[in-house]
Amino acid sequence: MKAVRKATIKHAFKRDWRLYVFLIIPVVYTLVFKYIPMGGLVIAFEEYKVRKGIWGSDWVGFENFLKFFESYQFGRVVKNTIILSLYNILAGFPVPIIFALAVNSIRNEKFKKFTTTVVNLPHFISTVVIVGIVFMLFNSRTGIYGNLGYLLTGDFPTDLFASPSSFRHMYVWSGVWQNFGWNSIIYTAALSSVDPTYHEAAQIDGATRFQRILHVDLPSIVPTIITMLILRMGTVMTLGFEKIYLMQNSLNLSASQVISTYVYEVGLSASGSGDFSYATAIGMFNNLIELILVVVVNKISKKVSDTSLW
């Protein structure tokens, strides 16, 4: 048995060795840049000292994790992460669907093409520029927001970027602005594959176009909607660092400090303590929860709608 297997391996390798040559670089890359950092997570269980290195530093077990759970920041950053992320998911959800349904009902192809091209555009604008535009336009003195406020009330409005509650709205709705067009593509595609005979049958039965949306279009994309919603829920603990960090300032920190930015602040920022081990432990806690969420959510999605990421 073993000999046979060995022979087939040898045979396969002899036949396909060139394919394995192709794979050398990708595998080495993945090992070095993806798996070694995972190994680097051991410093979460140490009191890492740069001079002593990863293997020479003292082990402290779960001390760093406990320190995080007991710190007053724990409740705050976890709460902020979940609130911001849930708000983001829920607010970002309906607009692409409504847009896709509208696009699908319109028959003027040129108009359709123009609008979809325009609304997809912001997806490709960089985070820095998006945040820059938001800062400029909503500046309470020099921006449209400030000037409009002045025009209407005779006084400059309050600074939106100084208040924690408006931070959430600015973050979420600038994201909706940037991505609703792009996120609608998947629904547009699902709608275009609806069998036209359903529509014809409904028309013969005297359904109006709006009734056809409710009873033909919408039901046919419900599986896509459910799948997307479930899968997005799996990313509730995943909040990118880039945009939040840019929109963060000392005045809105009570709403804008999330796990990823806190990791940066503790570990790498000039004002932080440079505590690599503590920062890694916080990051690892987040990654583990993300992993569990994604796996669980996939299981649910598979059961409910027969689709999953893998």
Partner 1 sequence: MKSEKKKSKIASTGKDRVFYIVCGLIMVVLTLMVLYPVIYVISASFSNADRIVAGKVWLWPVDINLDAYKLLFSYDQLWTGYANTIFYTVTGTLINLGVTLICAYPMARKNLMGRGPLMMFFSFTMLFSGGMIPNYILVKSLGMLNTRWAMLLPGAMSIYNMIVARTFIQSNIPDEMLEAAQIDGCNDFQFFFRMVLPLSKAIIAVLALWYGVSHWNSYFNAFLYLKDRELYPLQIFLKDILVQSESITVSEDDYTSVGMLSEHISVAIRYCMIVVSTVPLFCVYPFVSKHFQKGVMVGSVKG
Residue 69 contacts residue 156 (beta carbons within 8 Å): no
| Residues forming a β-bridge with 58 | 47
Tokens of residue 113, six digits: 């093409």
Q: Is 51 in the site for partner 1 (CB under 8 A)?
A: no
| Burial (Cβ within 10 Å: 0-12, 13-18, ≥19) of residue 290 | middle
Helix (H) or strand (E) holding 46: strand 46-47
Site for partner 1 in 262-291 (CB under 8 A): 263-264, 267-268, 276, 279-280, 283-284, 286-287, 290-291
> Between 70 and 109, whose beta carbon lies closer to partner 1?
109
**Minimum CB distance to partner 1, residue 235 (Å):** 11
| Residue 40 interacting with partner 1 (CB under 8 A) | yes
Do 308 and 298 meet the contact criterion of CB atoms below 8 Å apart?
A: yes
Binding piece for partner 1, criterion CB under 8 A, among 63-71, 79-87, 164-172, 208-216: 208-216
User: How many distinct helices (H) and strands (E) make up the chain?
Assistant: 17, 2
Stretch that binds partner 1, among 58-66, 74-82, 139-147, 163-171 (CB under 8 A): 139-147
Report the C-alpha gap between 228 and 222 in whole angstroms.
10
Closest to partner 1 by CB, 59 vs 310, is: 310
Choosing from 45, 172, 181, 233, the residue that interacts with partner 1 (CB under 8 A) is 181
- 115 or 220: CB nearest partner 1: 115
Residues 60-89 that bind partner 1 (CB under 8 A): none
Q: Which residues 99-118 are close enough to bind partner 1 by CB under 8 A?
A: 99, 101-103, 105-107, 111, 114-115, 117-118
Whether 279 and 220 have beta carbons less than 8 Å apart is answered as no
Could you give the 3-state DSSP secondary structure of residue 47? strand
Question: At closest approach, how far in Å is the CB of 161 from partner 1?
Answer: 10
211 vs 254 by CB, closer to partner 1? 211
Lookup result for tokens 């990118």 = 240
Q: Does 132 bind partner 1 (CB under 8 A)?
A: yes
Contact 233, 224 (CB under 8 A): no
Distance in Å, CB of 103 to partner 1, minimum: 7
Judged by CB under 8 A, the chain residues 212 through 251 that form the site for partner 1 are: 241-242, 246
Closer by beta carbon to partner 1, 85 or else 260: 260
- CA distance linking residue 256 with residue 271, whole number of Å: 17
Of the candidate spans 38-46, 70-78, 162-170, 215-223, the one that interacts with partner 1 by CB under 8 A turns out to be: 38-46
Handedness of CA 149, 153, 159, 161 (dihedral sign): negative
85/145 with CB nearer partner 1: 145
154 contacts partner 1 (rule: CB under 8 A): no
The token pair at 75 is 């409740």
Nearest C-alpha neighbor of 249 from the set 176, 131, 119, 162:
162
Torsion, Cα of 124, 128, 130, 131 (10° steps) = 160
Minimum CB distance to partner 1, residue 159 (Å)? 13
- Closest to partner 1 by CB, 117 or 165: 117
